[in-house]
């Protein structure tokens, strides 16, 4: 978890930059949020609406009231995952969960033993790209995490903020068509940009060795998919992400680790 001092510094730096990531059109997002999060959520949503062209209709309820809602009218739910898990009807109508904070800690309470507050986005929402952007905004250190920390809610290690994150993928030739096809589905749903390149094992090793020995480690792909015998040092990557047909490596230099992992998990559920 980032300290309040670091979050405040990031927040000040962000405010000095021109806010030029405007969305293309006005959108309306319907949100139901836990009453516990009223103060930081109002600030986060107000900031999001000022930065981008959208209108967010938010209603605050106690967690024991969400089973009375008509889920067909809601783009996003924001509650603790322990409460969301109790509502079977919502779980089947929402496609992705993005955690962003934990309950306020008291005494020696360990956040590792607590369920996080998360954004749950409805499947087939007409505003899915804007809803996912808002969820990522909640979890971004330079955006939502500042307001959450200010209100006393321990945050998560979210991705760096960008309205349309870009994920680079290097995939083994035999899997390129399958990965590219699902990347298009994921992009349409979340508003993510993908750069997919395909190589055989020899080409992949040559490319990765060249980048790893240079000073431009930022050009390492976010995801390496389908390569079994890469020669590059494992220190550049997180532990392998297992898959049904192939495995995946996530570079530790990625600015969008959480989004990349969500892509891989969604792909596994898709195949």
pLDDT tens for residues 190-222? 999 999 999 999 999 888 888 888 887 788 899
In this prediction, residue 106 carries a pLDDT of: 63
For the residues 167-194, what does the mean pLDDT come to? 96
In this prediction, residue 22 carries a pLDDT of: 46
pLDDT category of residue 104 using cuts at 50, 70 and 90 = confident
More confident residue, 25 or 128: 128
Cβ contacts of residue 181 below 8 Å, gap of 6+?
none
In this prediction, residue 233 carries a pLDDT of: 62
In this prediction, residue 90 carries a pLDDT of: 55
pLDDT at 180 over 90: yes
Decide: 126 and 79 in contact? Cβ < 8 Å: no
Query: Over the stretch 222-270, which tens digit does the pLDDT of each residue have?
Result: 999 999 777 766 678 888 888 888 999 999 889 999 999 999 999 998 8
The per-residue b/e assignment along 99-133, b for 16 or more CB within 10 angstroms, e otherwise, is bbbbbeeeeeeebeeebbbbbbbbeebebbbbbbb
- For the chain, give the mean pLDDT: 84
Least confident window among 12-16, 151-155, 185-189 = 12-16
In this prediction, residue 110 carries a pLDDT of: 57
Report the run of H or E that residue 46 belongs to, with start and end: helix 38-51
- Rounded to two decimals, what is the model's pTM? 0.84
pLDDT at 145 over 70: yes
* CATH fit for domain 4-150, picks 3.30.980.10, 3.40.190.10, 3.30.1360.120, 3.30.70.20: 3.40.190.10
For the residues 139-165, what does the mean pLDDT come to? 94
Decide: 167 and 192 in contact? Cβ < 8 Å: yes
In this prediction, residue 53 carries a pLDDT of: 82
Locate CATH 3.40.190.10 in the chain: 4-150, 166-270
Q: How far apart are CA 207 and CA 56, in angstroms?
A: 45
Q: Give the CA angle between residues 258, 250, 13 to the nearest 5°.
A: 50
| Furthest-apart CA atoms within the chain: distance in Å | 58
pLDDT at 13 over 50: no
pLDDT category of residue 26 using cuts at 50, 70 and 90 = low
* CATH fit for domain 166-270, picks 3.40.50.2300, 3.40.190.10, 3.60.150.10, 3.40.50.720: 3.40.190.10
Least confident window among 21-25, 85-89, 110-114, 242-246 = 21-25
For the residues 100-117, what does the mean pLDDT come to? 75
């Amino acid at each position: 978890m980032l300290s309040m001092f670091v979050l405040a510094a990031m927040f000040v730096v962000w405010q000095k930059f021109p806010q030029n990531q405007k969305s293309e059109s006005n959108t309306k997002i319907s949100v139901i949020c836990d009453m516990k999060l009223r103060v930081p959520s109002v600030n986060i949503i107000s900031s999001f609406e000022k930065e981008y062209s959208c209108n967010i209709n938010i209603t605050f309820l106690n967690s024991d009231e969400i089973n009375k809602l008509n889920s067909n009218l809601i783009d996003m739910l924001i509650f603790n995952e322990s409460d969301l898990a109790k509502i079977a009807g919502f779980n089947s109508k929402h496609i992705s969960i993005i955690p962003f904070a934990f309950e306020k800690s008291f005494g020696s309470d360990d956040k590792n033993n607590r369920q996080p507050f998360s954004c749950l986005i409805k499947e087939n929402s007409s505003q899915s790209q804007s809803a996912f952007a808002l969820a990522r905004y909640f979890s971004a250190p330079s955006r939502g995490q500042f307001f959450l920390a200010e209100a006393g809610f321990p945050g998560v290690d979210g991705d760096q903020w960008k309205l349309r994150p870009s994920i680079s993928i290097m995939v083994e030739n035999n899997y390129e068509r399958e990965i590219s096809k699902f990347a298009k589905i994921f992009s349409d749903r979340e508003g993510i940009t993908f750069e997919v390149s395909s190589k055989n094992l020899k080409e992949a090793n040559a490319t990765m060795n060249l980048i790893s020995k240079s000073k431009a480690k930022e050009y390492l792909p976010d995801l390496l998919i389908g390569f079994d015998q890469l020669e590059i040092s494992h220190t550049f990557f997180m532990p392998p992400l297992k898959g049904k047909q192939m495995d995946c490596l996530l570079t530790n230099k990625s600015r969008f680790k959480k989004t990349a992992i969500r892509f891989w998990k969604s792909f596994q559920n898709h195949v």
